Structure 1
Amino acid sequence: MSKKVVLGFSGGLDTSYCVKYLTDELGYEVHSVIVNTGGFNEEELKHIEQHAYKLGVKTHTTVDAVESYYESIIKYLIFGNCLKNNTYPLSVSAERLSQAMHIAEHAKNLQAEAVVHGSTGAGNDQVRFDMILNIDVPGIEIITPIRDMKLCREEEIAYLKSKGVEMNFEKSMYSINKGLWGTSVGGKETLNSKGMLPESAWPTQVTKSGSEEVKLHFVKGELKSVNDKHFEHPASAIQYLQTIAGPYGVGRDIHVGDTIIGIKGRVGFEAAAPMVIIKAHHALEKHVLTKWQLQWKDTLSQFYGNWMHEGQILDPVMRDIEAYLEKSQRKVTGDVFVQLNPYHFQIIGIESDNDLMSAKFGKYGEMNTGFTGEDVRGFTKIFGNQVGIYHSVCETNKDKK
């Protein structure tokens, strides 16, 4: 009886090779699964399914993970205003973890003997997939033909052509990975420490000019409407905002970061909706949260984003931090106004019933109605008391020495 294996399938060169190699050379029963986290439309998914069956899979399954992806990961990245190295919204990092968890679930449902993924041995994805699979389906065999056989692109193409496989073997100059929370773009300019992607390399071209104001409405930290257009699920609001902001070319940058395996790398990304949402959400928080709420959120969120980037989404400490982040959003409700321009955007301001910047307590730099000058004199005497004692004692002793 042939071995039953589940293959995480994208329809690209690496996973297409995996199907033919496992079925033709090893005689395995391959069950392919594609997890859509917002990067494919219905037509593309149908084409991928047809391609999988032509290659020889036993079954092919499409998992619509857009909303579950938001609920399990993206929501907390927004609550935490998470940007890797203050730059990158963790687009691919988050996406791979969601995909890996769904692949593991599919393997359990099919009672598969092994799980296959098409990762190479050069990047972060191999670690993320392996870690999730080792935890979610412990003891299952993990097969990675591309990594284990150290295959180059040319070898894979030659093998598939020898098997009569028809697909587009022409490699674009740029490697593009699209999902709900942004699109990564890799190319020759990102392989070195200097270089910017040319305009033609960006998947979303700039087609809008002038400026445009958009209103984002948050309810307890979640984006619920854009320009008064309400959405049942925040994932749909993100997709809608992307259609508005993307053509302005905002949210483009190049991220420089440390990989899980210890090397540094550069990757371009475009994430119009994610960047606008994070900055708008943060602006609203600065108005409705207290100083120490903001301080501790920043501290925990930085750890959360970094640990998630390294594949540790299943660590129980992540559930603890998520509970804190969720609780911190109970007053983060209101409207944020954003001005979009070609290649940049700016926050115009916010309106919220919970705004702590209330005129009835005073106007910064102008007038205060919450306390008197005498109150301040007493406050500063107490607030600086311990430091004053230190200087009186230690600085005097220092002079004696």
Structure 2
Amino acid sequence: MHRVVLLYSGGLDTSVMLKWIQDEYDAEVVALCVDLGQPADDFDAVRQKALDLGAVASLVVDAKEEFARDYVAPAIKANARYQGGYPLFTALGRPLLAKLACEAAREHDADTVAHGCTGKGNDQVRIEATIATLAPDLKVIAPVREWSMGRDEEIAYAQEHGIPVTSTVERPYSIDDNLWGRSSEGGVIEDLEQPPPGDVFQLVTPPTEAPDRPEDVVLGFRDGLPVSLDGEELGLVELIRRVADAAARNGVGILDHIEDRVVGLKVRDLYEVPAAEVILTAHRELEKLVCTGRENALKPQLDALWAQLAYEGVWYEPLLADLNAFMDRVNARVEGEITMRLYKGSATAVARRSPNAIYDRSLATFNADASFAQGAAPGFIELFSLQSRTAYRIAQARERG
């Protein structure tokens, strides 16, 4: 290899490997940092740091809009929560990072892509499967899988070579964040018998410290996607940010989650997902209002399958495209407003309205109303229960011999 595109965040792993690749492979490195809405990153500093460490080029790509439009939006329509809990965000970003790395490799005449994933994680699968699909001629290296350093040794390596990093032996967490959420793992988090350490959460206010009064926000949806907040029309990126701010200050979106990785490990992750918690909950509530009972019974099963495929990173799997077609068809009716009440860690739908609601108050009311033929109920019940009653009688007869 002569030139490597390194997916570069400026954190411990990728900063160490930028230096390590140059020394180990005698190769030039193009650092590629992708802005997916990470709230705290100084991208000018990240770009300069890569150049200071010897990169022949340091690129920063603003991909927030593409990420929101092509990855987060389908996840909202699919109510995407892996294993019922984790609102996918890292999993959504990795195929996009890999796609942009392939494009950068073509543009900068690189023959190799490098990433900072470990051999124990999901991201290696997501990134490498995407590269193998889009650019099978490119080589892929994963230095963390090759070197024999743990995080403590990486920190020591960084100190020895004058590489500035923020990780310390006392606080060795692996952090990943983007517009849709933030994850923390490693260190004491791996001890399942211990509660989450207080220094982990940097995005969401602890619920015990959140305001003592609830805050209501009104989310407007069209075609299954949020388009307004409290009556103000917003683009998806800005709307997600504002919802995240409101949810975070009210302690909403902290998740202590045990999950099964693609590679077979069962792990613990701590997630901060304020916007996702509010928007996904609101979306599902509105979806239930406009869908039939049969649709509401089936769609969560397909949502779970969508989340599984996205978690695995098989973004170009035909089945995912098939599911997206179904999600688009259903969400064409998901229009209206949901009022979400945010209070000390909870996000609850407290009001709903939609022009497509399969709801008629005059039919649902317990007050007297002639529009619902209650007198037809006995005949319906007799027919509805016919097979169950027949099967029960037959079972009773068999038990009596």
With the length of structure 2 as denominator, give the TM-score of the two structures.
0.91
Deviations 1:10-40 (A, max 9, x none): 1112212222122234221211111121115
For 2:221, which of 208, 218, 221 is the aligned residue?
Answer: 218
Amino acid in structure 1 at the alignment position of 2:73: K
- 1:259 matched residue in structure 2: 261
Query: Shift of the alpha carbon at 1:107?
Result: 2.2
Query: Shift of the alpha carbon at 1:135?
Result: 1.5
- 2:387 matched residue in structure 1: 386
Deviations 1:236-280 (A, max 9, x none): 211111111111111112011111111111111111111011111
Aligned equivalents of 1:160 and 1:176: distance in 2?
Answer: 18
- 2:195 matched residue in structure 1: 196
Query: Shift of the alpha carbon at 1:47?
Result: 0.5
Aligned equivalents of 2:167 and 2:334: distance in 1?
Answer: 49
1:101/1:8 CA distance change after superposition, 3 Å: same
Q: Point out the more displaced range, 184-193 or 323-332.
A: 184-193
Query: Shift of the alpha carbon at 1:200?
Result: 3.7
1:201 is paired with a residue whose SS is coil
Aligned equivalents of 2:294 and 2:110: distance in 1?
Answer: 49
Query: Shift of the alpha carbon at 1:298?
Result: 0.7
Aligned equivalents of 1:247 and 1:396: distance in 2?
Answer: 59
Query: Contact 1:204/1:246 (CA < 8 Å) preserved in 2?
Result: yes
- 2:15 matched residue in structure 1: 16
Is 1:240 equivalent to 2:242 in the alignment?
A: yes
Amino acid in structure 2 at the alignment position of 1:387: S
Q: Point out the more displaced range, 287-296 or 378-387.
A: 378-387
For 2:231, which of 228, 248, 251 is the aligned residue?
Answer: 228
Deviations 1:63-107 (A, max 9, x none): 212121122221122112222222211222222232222222322
Query: Contact 2:155/2:168 (CA < 8 Å) preserved in 1?
Result: no
Q: Point out the more displaced range, 345-354 or 301-310.
A: 345-354
With the length of structure 1 as denominator, give the TM-score of the two structures.
0.91
2:85 is paired with a residue whose SS is coil
Aligned equivalents of 2:216 and 2:106: distance in 1?
Answer: 48
- 1:395 matched residue in structure 2: 395
Q: Point out the more displaced range, 86-95 or 150-159.
A: 150-159
Deviations 1:304-348 (A, max 9, x none): 101211222221110110111011011211111111112223221
Aligned equivalents of 2:399 and 2:168: distance in 1?
Answer: 77
1:293 is paired with a residue whose SS is helix
- 2:105 matched residue in structure 1: 107
In structure 2, runs of 5+ residues without a counterpart are none
Q: Point out the more displaced range, 248-257 or 136-145.
A: 136-145
Query: Shift of the alpha carbon at 1:139?
Result: 3.4
Query: Contact 1:362/1:368 (CA < 8 Å) preserved in 2?
Result: no
For 2:89, which of 74, 87, 91 is the aligned residue?
Answer: 91
Amino acid in structure 1 at the alignment position of 2:128: D
In structure 1, runs of 5+ residues without a counterpart are none
- 1:124 matched residue in structure 2: 122
Give identity over the alignment, percent: 28
Query: Shift of the alpha carbon at 1:292?
Result: 1.4
Q: Point out the more displaced range, 271-280 or 78-87.
A: 78-87
1:219/1:324 CA distance change after superposition, 3 Å: same
1:357/1:389 CA distance change after superposition, 3 Å: same
Amino acid in structure 1 at the alignment position of 2:38: G
Is 1:63 equivalent to 2:49 in the alignment?
A: no
Query: Contact 1:4/1:31 (CA < 8 Å) preserved in 2?
Result: yes
Query: Contact 2:336/2:353 (CA < 8 Å) preserved in 1?
Result: yes
1:389/1:101 CA distance change after superposition, 3 Å: same
Aligned equivalents of 1:165 and 1:331: distance in 2?
Answer: 53
Aligned equivalents of 1:314 and 1:162: distance in 2?
Answer: 42
- 1:135 matched residue in structure 2: 133
Deviations 1:126-170 (A, max 9, x none): 222221122121132111122112322344344444444444453
- 1:375 matched residue in structure 2: 376
- 1:359 matched residue in structure 2: 361
Aligned equivalents of 2:68 and 2:318: distance in 1?
Answer: 19
5 Å-filtered alignment, 1:113-192, equals 113-168=111-166, 170=168, 172-192=171-191
1:355 is paired with a residue whose SS is coil
Amino acid in structure 2 at the alignment position of 1:14: D
- 1:323 matched residue in structure 2: 325
Q: Point out the more displaced range, 6-15 or 63-72.
A: 63-72
Deviations 1:346-366 (A, max 9, x none): 221212222222213232x55
Q: Point out the more displaced range, 68-77 or 281-290.
A: 68-77
Aligned length: 396
Query: Contact 2:204/2:252 (CA < 8 Å) preserved in 1?
Result: no
Query: Contact 1:208/1:342 (CA < 8 Å) preserved in 2?
Result: yes
Amino acid in structure 1 at the alignment position of 2:372: F
- 2:73 matched residue in structure 1: 75
Query: Contact 1:199/1:205 (CA < 8 Å) preserved in 2?
Result: no
1:266 is paired with a residue whose SS is strand
